[in-house]
Structure 1
Amino acid sequence: MHEMTIDHIHEDIGLMVQDFASGFFTTLTHLPRWSDYLRDNDQTPGYQFLRMMLQVLTHQDGRQRRWVLKSPQHLEQFVPIMNVFPDATFIVTHRDPVDVSVSMATMMTYTMRMSIDEVDVRTVAGYWIDRIDEMLSACLRDHDKLPP
C-alpha cells in the first residue's frame, strides 16, 4: 500500500465524489448497490462535472497542464469519457486480474477495519472479485470503440 493524505487527491475520483459520480464510497465500506447504481446509469454528467473541476483547477494554477484520469472505475466508462473529453488519448494498462483482486480485497479490508469492528473478509473479497470482473468485461466490450 502507499501513503494517502487528506491534503491531496490521489485519483480523479476524489473530484468526482463531490458530484456523487464516483466509486470512492465503495472503497470505504461494503456498498454493492452504489456500484450497481453507477454501472446502470449514464455517467456522462459526472464526467462533465470532472471536466469543469479540472478547468477550475487549471485556471487557479495558471499553467496549462495535461490532465490525467487515473482510476479503475474508468475501465467501464470509455464512452462517457470520449463524449466529454473528445481529444483524449487512452492508455489502458494491464495487470493480472488475480493480483488486482487480492490487492483490492486486502486494501479494502484494512480500510473498512478503521470504521467497522468486524469485517467479513469473504464478503469483501467476493464483492471485489465480481466488481473487477464487471469492470474488465466492460473494458473488453468497449475497447474497440476507443480511437486508434
Structure 2
Amino acid sequence: MICSVLSLDVGRRRIGLAGCDPLGITVTPLPALHRSHYSSDLPLLQEHCQRRSVQGLVVGLPLDDAGAPTQQAEHCRRYGLRLAASLQLPLAWVNEHSSSWAAGERHGLNGDRSGRLDSAAAALLLEQWLREGPELKPAQFMASGPGAGGVDGGS
C-alpha cells in the first residue's frame, strides 16, 4: 500500500526527514529536525505529519555489517515506537546500515553537520522502503527487540 509516508533517520542531535507523495513517486528530503527532548520534537513532527497528510512512518535502524542491532538501533527503535504511538501512525523499520555514507557520496555531503546529510539519508531509506517494504504495521504489533519486526536487510 503506497501512501504519504515520513521517513526518519534518528540521531542523537538531529533527525533527518524525508517524505513522499501519496503515490510513492517523488521522495523529497525535508529540513532536518535539530533535537532537544522528545517533548520538543513531538509537536514539530506532528506539524510535519499534519501538513503532509502522513499516513505512516519509516524509521531507520542502524544494524551492523552482520545485520545485528547496534546500541543506536535500540535508541531508534524506542524512539520510533514512541513516536508512532503518539501520532497513532503505523510504521516500518528499514536497515539504515551505511545510509549516511551512501547519501554523502551521492550528494557530496560527507562531513555535513547542517542536517542536509541526515535528510538525504532519510530519503534513501524511504526510496528503499518504497522498493522493498516491509508493510507498515501499527506500533503495538511491532516486535519488541531491536532489529526485529520486519527490518529490511538491504542497505
Fold shared, TM-score > 0.5 on shorter chain: no
Category of TM-score, reference length = shorter chain: 0.3 to 0.5
The structure that has the greater radius of gyration is: 1
TM-score (norm 2): 0.34
Q: Which has the higher strand share?
A: 2
TM-score (norm 1): 0.35
